[in-house]
Amino acid sequence: MEYLLQGFIQGFKLLFSGNPETYSAITTTVYASTLSMICSLSIGVPLGFLLGYKTFPGKKVVRTMVDTLLSFPTVVIGLVVYAFLTRNGPLGGTGLLFTIPGMSIGQTLLGLPIIIAMTANAVESLDKRLPMTLLTLGATPVQMMWATVLEARYSIMLAAMAAYGRIVSEVGISMMVGGNIKWHTRTITTAIALETGKGEFAVGIALGMVLLTVALLVNIGAAGLKKRAVQ
Amino acid sequence: MKRLLIAALSCLIIAAMALPVMAAQTLMMATTTSTANTGLLDDLIVPKFMKDTGIEIKFVAVGTGKALKMAENCDVDVVLVHAPAAEKAYVDKGVLVDRKELMYNDFVIIGPASDPAGVKGMGVAEALKTIAQKQAVFASRGDNSGTHKKELSLWKAAEMPVPEKDAWYIQTGQGMLPTINIANEKNGYTMTDRGTFIKYADTKGGNPPLVVLVEGDKVLFNQYSALAVNTAMCKDAQYELATKFINWMASPETQEAIGNFKLLGKKLFIPNAK
């Protein structure tokens, strides 16, 4: 119990004292997860649209695969990305190992299945008359897609929130691909792992609270966006 | 499809923008959890090296086994580890060169102050045999780290099989401090390096529930060394920076600073560069 209380007090102190180490971890977390979100949304939404909108042979198999990938453990993704990015690996020349973009590649892979599956679901559950209407209005395929995605925007925003929640809280990829390097790739979650490893449980709890606060701020921001979109 | 390509490309471009940052003078180091957890690197080595040479150290703290593997994969330029036998194997393979001994501390066997198996003051071999006989809980790192390798060699020296499958022998697969905490929760014993133990005692306000029971045996000596990655194996390894770092670590001034690095008034590492 003492840990918890100390952690709460220390958490507030960390947040409001402007402790450079904590803020470096916060910036890294926000930077990495934002980069991952941009990538998974810009790749995942079109793919999800195709999967939900088009009919093609083997569609069921692809759906099952995407759904399976939803439960991909983050350490396995970390391991695979590490194996690709290590200097002797196929993508070793890029020098992305132990960098934030390297971490983002792994996190993008983590977020993609969520975005794809939920976007596909959203597109499928839209009014079936929508594409017909759009076609009669003479929409090009790209316009069709934009109109459909726009129609499904709340569901897609929900997908984005779910993906963000998973990305911002994962530790396996950040630890293996990022390496938990102070001032560079140390995120809040890897810092928690480190502090717990050092026996500093109170600092760990404090950082956990900081992460929750960051998540809360992002959610409030998203809710605000949604409200403005509705009006 | 085109949009998809553009999206993927722009992701790569963002990623590529981060590359020039990497080109600055930074030394990549793989090291053991003990040097990181005790604060030696964060509080002394990294800032001091930056101040003295302008070179930034980025270090990844993993077990010695993984640190050496990272060197073999060309992911780092230098390693700071503590498993002489394993180090020599990598030197023989040609992965690492210029091994330099820098500092040491010693291993100790710690356990509950009540000492349920009664091993206090024994030699290492005798203590391990007694723990096994009484089936007292013993927490092992089990992670192929330098400490784990040392522990395995001690069972061998005690002429006992490693109690891999016995219920009282717990393999945590975690770093030293988590392992000490697990040993504590289970009211058992474990082996640790003295630096980490002092750090542990420090987090417990100088009054730790686990205390040193076996120490001073010659076999418990724990040598830390730095080795540079061989450019013949990894053409991109920054050999020059690695050499600079190793020599800087061995310089009288840094050696003195290492000797002065204390917690609870106790030295964590004793410099011994030749």
Closest C-alpha among A226, A221, A205, A213 to residue A29: A213
pLDDT at B73 over 80: yes
Question: Which of A27-36, A210-219, B123-132 has the least mean pLDDT?
Answer: A210-219
| Burial label, A144 (beta-carbon count in 10 A; 0-12, 13-18, 19+) | middle
Q: How far is B130 from chain A (nearest CA, A)?
A: 29
Contacts of B236 (CB under 8 A, 6+ apart): A87, B74
pLDDT at A101 over 70: yes
Q: Give the residue-averaged pLDDT of B221-238.
A: 94
Residue B100 sits at φ, ψ, to 5 deg, of: -130, 125
- The answer to whether A96 contacts chain B (CB < 8 Å) is yes
Report CB contact under 8 Å: A179, B60. yes
Instruction: Check if the beta carbon of residue B83 is closer than 8 Å to that of residue B67.
Output: no
Q: How many CB atoms lie within 10 A of CB A191?
A: 27
Q: How many CB atoms lie within 10 A of CB B89?
A: 13
What pLDDT does A4 receive?
A: 82
Mode of pairing for the β-strands spanning B138-140 and B189-193: parallel
A134 Cα distance to chain centroid: 32
Q: Give the residue-averaged pLDDT of A120-135.
A: 87
Sign of CA dihedral B62, B85, B256, B51: negative
What pLDDT does A147 receive?
A: 87
Give the mutation candidate from B60, B176, B196, B235 for the A interface (greatest A CB count, under 10 A): B60
What pLDDT does A191 receive?
A: 93
pLDDT at B18 over 80: no
Q: How far is B156 from chain A (nearest CA, A)?
A: 28
Instruction: Check if the beta carbon of residue B3 is closer than 8 Å to that of residue A46.
Output: yes
Instruction: Give residue-wise pLDDT tens across range B178-190.
Output: 899 899 989 999 9
| Rg, Å, chain B Cα set | 21
pLDDT at A230 over 70: no
If pLDDT is split at 50, 70 and 90, which confidence band does B87 have?
very high
pLDDT at A219 over 90: no
If pLDDT is split at 50, 70 and 90, which confidence band does B168 have?
very high
Instruction: Check if the beta carbon of residue B213 is closer than 8 Å to that of residue B110.
Output: yes
Point out the residue among B14, B200, B234 whose CB comes nearest to the CB of A199.
B200
If pLDDT is split at 50, 70 and 90, which confidence band does B242 have?
very high
Residue of chain A whose Cα is closest to the Cα of B38: A198
- Name the DSSP class of B41: I
- Residue pairs spanning A and B at CB distance below 8 A: 83
Query: Which chain A positions have a beta carbon within 8 Å of B60's beta carbon?
Result: 98, 179-181
What pLDDT does B7 receive?
A: 62
Q: Does the ipTM exceed 0.85?
A: no
Residue of chain B whose Cα is closest to the Cα of A42: B7
Query: What kind and span of H or E run contains B110?
Result: strand B96-112
Q: Give the residue-averaged pLDDT of B1-20.
A: 58
Residue B25 CA to residue B28 CA, distance in Å, equals 10
Point out the residue among A42, A86, A100 whose CB comes nearest to the CB of B7.
A42
- Please report the DSSP string for A10-28 in residue order: HHHHHHHHT-HHHHHHHHH
| Percent of chain B surpassing pLDDT 70 | 91
Joined tokens for residue B157: 């020296």
pLDDT at A133 over 60: yes
If pLDDT is split at 50, 70 and 90, which confidence band does B4 have?
low
Joined tokens for residue A121: 């679901």
Instruction: Check if the beta carbon of residue B109 is closer than 8 Å to that of residue B213.
Output: yes
Residue of chain B whose Cα is closest to the Cα of A39: B11
pLDDT at B9 over 60: no
What pLDDT does B212 receive?
A: 95
If you average pLDDT over every residue of chain B, what do you get?
90
Q: Does residue B185 sit in helix, strand or coil? A: helix
Query: Which chain B positions have a beta carbon within 8 Å of A105's beta carbon?
Result: 15
Query: Which chain B positions have a beta carbon within 8 Å of A198's beta carbon?
Result: 37, 177, 199, 203
Query: Which chain A positions have a beta carbon within 8 Å of B28's beta carbon?
Result: 98
Instruction: Give residue-wise pLDDT tens across range B190-212.
Output: 999 998 999 899 888 888 999 99
What pLDDT does B54 receive?
A: 94
Report CB contact under 8 Å: A181, B4. no
Instruction: Give residue-wise pLDDT tens across range B34-62.
Output: 888 888 999 999 999 999 999 999 999 98
Q: How far is B144 from chain A (nearest CA, A)?
A: 17
- The answer to whether A97 contacts chain B (CB < 8 Å) is yes
What pLDDT does A110 receive?
A: 96
Residue of chain A whose Cα is closest to the Cα of B29: A181
Residue A103 CA to residue A35 CA, distance in Å, equals 10
Instruction: Give residue-wise pLDDT tens across range A8-45.
Output: 888 888 888 888 988 999 999 999 999 999 999 999 99
Report CB contact under 8 Å: A200, B203. yes
- The answer to whether A39 contacts chain B (CB < 8 Å) is yes
Residue B175 CA to residue A185 CA, distance in Å, equals 20
Q: Does residue B217 sit in helix, strand or coil? A: coil
pLDDT at B19 over 60: no
Q: Give the residue-averaged pLDDT of B29-34.
A: 91
Query: Which chain A positions have a beta carbon within 8 Å of B47's beta carbon?
Result: none
Question: Which of A132-146, A176-190, B67-81, B221-235 has the least mean pLDDT?
Answer: A132-146
Residue A26 CA to residue A11 CA, distance in Å, equals 13
Instruction: Give residue-wise pLDDT tens across range B130-157.
Output: 999 999 999 999 888 889 999 999 999 9
Higher pLDDT, A20 or A227: A20
Higher pLDDT, A145 or A183: A183
Please give the torsion angle defined by the CA atoms of residues A146, A150, A156 and A160, in that order, rounded to the nearest 10 degrees: 80
pLDDT at B1 over 60: no
Q: Give the residue-averaged pLDDT of B110-132.
A: 94
- Name the DSSP class of A110: H
Q: How far is A94 from chain B (nearest CA, A)?
A: 8
Instruction: Determine the residue type at A204.
Output: G
Report CB contact under 8 Å: A199, B15. no
If pLDDT is split at 50, 70 and 90, which confidence band does B11 have?
low
Point out the residue among A43, A194, A198 whose CB comes nearest to the CB of B8.
A43
What pLDDT does A229 receive?
A: 65
Joined tokens for residue A207: 């950082």
What pLDDT does B33 receive?
A: 85
Query: Which chain A positions have a beta carbon within 8 Å of B36's beta carbon?
Result: 194
Q: Give the residue-averaged pLDDT of A131-149.
A: 85
Residue of chain B whose Cα is closest to the Cα of A108: B11
Q: How many CB atoms lie within 10 A of CB B88?
A: 12
What pLDDT does A198 receive?
A: 78
Report CB contact under 8 Å: B58, A200. no
If pLDDT is split at 50, 70 and 90, which confidence band does B81 have?
very high
Residue with tokens 């058992």: B188
Residue A107 CA to residue A31 CA, distance in Å, equals 12
If pLDDT is split at 50, 70 and 90, which confidence band does A221 have?
confident
For chain A, report the end-to-end CA distance as a whole number of angstroms: 46
What pLDDT does A200 receive?
A: 80
Residue with tokens 């007090």: A9
Joined tokens for residue B67: 């640190």
